[in-house]
A = this chain, B = another copy of it.
């Protein structure tokens, strides 16, 4: 990907004050007046105009519902390049000055993971179908992490318009980045500090406590625990932790992926049934790409964030979210949804 003079579809710019990064993706630009109210995309999209109905000629990986590599007639899940990528080929690891600031090219990958059924969301899939999605996440993550440019691979899924889905057909996205994202960096540093102080994993401590306390447990199976976090950022925030300590999602065992498929499907089904199919985002937090195992203290997990409230001026201005239901009550409610 470090292809000489080629230019990435975006710029990553660093905030001079707090050090955070933002992406300016002008390759996906709308004209300024297209931000005005009348021109926002419509949401409901009929089957006959859906771009995600067939196996893509450039599919990067595809599986049938039995987990075997798929042909056109048998595909269940595929990964394809994003038609409007925010990150792509470009010069990585070069930081350019601009006045007092710095920026770097948005070198990386941007792919879409599509399941075959136009209306079948993860909440109503079978475990084996969800397992296929996880298989594609893992395959693409392993491949992307081998690229010398890549520092982090973000896997995420947007369900519903208010959660940012611009295509109704169920799909996830994978973005590989040339920098460690700020929120992931903070999480890694918090885990590292705890480890240096206690010689223990902070997430293992959380999992142990939550199992003992019980009040925020939503669901458990043999290898995963589903929890409403003590410091939930949104109402009904849900996290899925593997019981076994492991820094990297892509190093999970087959049995762990089976258990994760069950836990993810169960958690999303409970949200859909309990809260009338709310919009939500979920994403994976996993260790960044590094050489020497220096983030082995980290513990990968999955976070589901329902869109139960709008982020307003207080949240944006302070970083403190106000959640109007206690995580204990959210857990009790979701636990009771069959």
The verdict on A22 contacting chain B, using a C-beta distance below 8 Å, is: yes
Of A158, A163, A303, A313, which is in contact with the most chain B CB atoms at under 10 Å from its CB?
A313
Q: Mark A217-251, 1 if CB is under 8 A from B, else 0.
A: 00000000000011111011000000000000000
The verdict on A18 contacting chain B, using a C-beta distance below 8 Å, is: yes
Chain A 285-338 interface residues, beta-carbon cutoff 8 Å to B: 285, 303, 305-306, 308-327, 329-330, 333
A interface residues, how many (CB within 8 angstroms): 103
- Let me know if B205 and A325 touch, CB within 8 A: no
**One of A34-42, A46-54, A117-125, A134-142 contacting the partner:** A34-42
CB neighbours of A205 from chain B (8 A)? 16, 100
> A156 with B314: in contact, given A36-B275, A276-B38, A321-B22 (CB under 8 Å)?
yes
> A313 with B283: in contact, given A35-B275, A319-B181, A324-B29 (CB under 8 Å)?
yes
- Let me know if B17 and A190 touch, CB within 8 A: yes
A230 to B17, CA, bound (A): 11
Contacts A18-B187, A28-B322 aside, 19 further interface pairs with beta carbons under 8 A come to: A13-B231, A16-B194, A16-B205, A16-B230, A16-B231, A21-B231, A24-B327, A26-B329, A29-B324, A32-B329, A35-B235, A36-B276, A99-B213, A100-B206, A156-B312, A157-B313, A182-B318, A183-B318, A283-B316
**Distance (Å) between the CB of A152 and the closest chain B CB?**
8
The listed residue (B209, B274, B317) touching A156 by CB distance below 8 A is: B317
A residues with CB within 8 A of B? 10, 12-26, 28-30, 32-33, 35-38, 86, 98-101, 152, 154, 156-158, 161-165, 173, 175, 177, 181-184, 186-187, 189-191, 194, 202-203, 205-206, 209, 212-213, 229-233, 235-236, 274-278, 281-285, 303, 305-306, 308-327, 329-330, 333
- Let me know if B305 and A17 touch, CB within 8 A: no
A23 to B314, CA, bound (A): 11
CB neighbours of A32 from chain B (8 A)? 236, 274-275, 325, 329-330, 333
CB neighbours of A314 from chain B (8 A)? 154, 156, 173, 175, 283
> A24 with B326: in contact, given A36-B275, A231-B13 (CB under 8 Å)?
yes
- Let me know if B231 and A15 touch, CB within 8 A: yes
- Let me know if B183 and A319 touch, CB within 8 A: yes
A277 to B229, CA, bound (A): 37
A194 to B19, CA, bound (A): 11
- Let me know if B36 and A181 touch, CB within 8 A: no
CB neighbours of A324 from chain B (8 A)? 25-26, 28-30
- Let me know if B320 and A14 touch, CB within 8 A: no
- Let me know if A23 and B213 touch, CB within 8 A: no
